[in-house]
Amino acid sequence: MVMSASDIEKGRSNAIKACKENISALLDVGRELFVSVFPVAKISPGSGKKFDAHQVYDYKMRQIKSWVNNTMHETLTLAQSPEPLEMMPTALPLPRAVAEEVIEAMIRVFTLGRDLTDNDYYYISDAASAMGLDASTVSKIIDQSQYKVRKAFFEELLEELDAEQCFGCAILLMKAIQADDAIHPAEFKYIENIAQLLENDQSEIERVERVCQDQETLPRVFLPHDLSEYMFKYLTEVVMCDGEYDARETAFIKEVGKAFGFDLSQQDEIIQPVAGALMVKAALFPKV
């Protein structure tokens, strides 16, 4: 389940390469369209001089590719750094499809082998502003990207855990969704993960619902340390995803920590980065 350093670097390199190739393809299509519509064209910037429009277009395409290359380099530097770094992309309005491709690649680079941090969210926000991409669109891209990451994780989890462990994790996940006695719309996406853990067995899903209704205490779930830590982070995210964190949810998270065998100090070390990142995410990319 834990990716090696070489696999992480290879994955990041592949994500950046794919981003550049996809953007080049988009720009090539744009150039073909431009040339077909304006086979002979001149551009006058207002100085009285006229320039070949195709040369100007090619210059702008090189400028965009250079910007993407620099931004991907900065993204990789941030992802590799153990400490937060301050970097600011230069402003360059880009076509929407190109901007979205950049954001998706950035998230892919950031999430290989680690979680999104508050510093990542700041840089994503700055890059989006530099490209002229609105926050609501970025929020959707982030959610879609994280959905894919989670789905892949739970698919791998099924190969690592036995039925009892999966059932215990499903109970914890259902309890997390119900921690504040209400299911927020933002929490519906997590229900699919419960079905994944139970291999879409409806009878087992119903059994989880009955256990959650009948038992107030949480089951002790024994997982390898790295999986316990990931699940604890994930469950913390679930209870905080609605933008609120009340006393019931605080108490629940502490009980989850006990269920995984984490003491209070270990819990705080895991919770604080997750909580900080989610607060920054909510501030930068508010739900409409």
More confidently predicted of 2 and 96: 96
Q: Is residue 79 situated within a structural domain?
A: yes
Q: Given this model, what pLDDT does residue 189 score?
A: 74
Q: 143 or 179, which is more confident?
A: 143
Q: Quick one: 111 and 164 in the same domain? A: no
- Whole-number pLDDT of residue 97: 94
Domain assignment present for residue 117? The answer is: yes
**Residue 144: inside a domain:** no
Structural domain of 272: 160-284
13-17 mean pLDDT:
96
Whether residue 169 sits in one domain with residue 120: no
The verdict on 129 and 167 lying in the same domain is no
Q: Average model confidence (pLDDT) for the chain? A: 87
**119-159 tens-digit pLDDT:** 999 999 999 999 999 999 999 999 888 888 888 888 888 88
Identify which has the larger pLDDT, 31 or 78: 78
Residue 174 included in any domain: yes
- pLDDT value at residue 185: 58
**Is 90 within the bounds of a domain?**
yes
Residue 40 tokens, joined: 């002979």
Average pLDDT over residues 33-44: 79
Give residues with Cβ within 8 angstroms of 190, minimum separation 6.
173, 176, 177, 238, 241
More confident residue, 224 or 101: 101
**Based on the number of CB atoms within 10 Å of its own CB, is 71 exposed (0-12), middle (13-18) or buried (19 or more)?**
buried
Q: Which of 115, 133, 151 is the last residue of a domain?
A: 133
> Is it the case that residue 1 has pLDDT exceeding 70?
no
Q: Do 17 and 126 fall into the same domain?
A: yes
pLDDT-derived band at 213 (thresholds 50, 70, 90) equals confident
Which range has the top average pLDDT, 51-65, 90-104, 199-213? 90-104
Report whether 53 contacts 43 (CB < 8 A).
yes
Question: Is residue 187 located within the same domain as residue 129?
Answer: no
Sorting pLDDT into bands at 50, 70 and 90, what band is 215? confident
Q: Which residues contact 66 (CB under 8 A, 6 or more apart)?
A: none
- Do 128 and 239 sit in the same domain of this protein? no
Number of structural domains found in the chain: 2
Interval 262-271: pLDDT, tens:
898 999 998 8
CB atoms < 10 A from the CB of 69, how many? 14
DSSP 159-215: HHS-HHHHHHHHHHHHHHHTTTSS--GGGHHHHHHHHHHTTT-HHHHHHHHHHHHH-
Give dist(CA 146, CA 155) in Å, integer.
14
Same domain, 190 and 70: no
- The answer to whether residue 19 scores a pLDDT higher than 80 is yes
141 within domain boundaries: no
What pLDDT is recorded for position 250?
A: 80
pLDDT, position 191 = 83
Residue 190 maps to a domain: yes
Question: Pick from 187, 193, 191, 259: which is nearest to 229 by CA?
Answer: 259
Q: For the chain, what percent of residues have pLDDT higher than 70?
A: 92
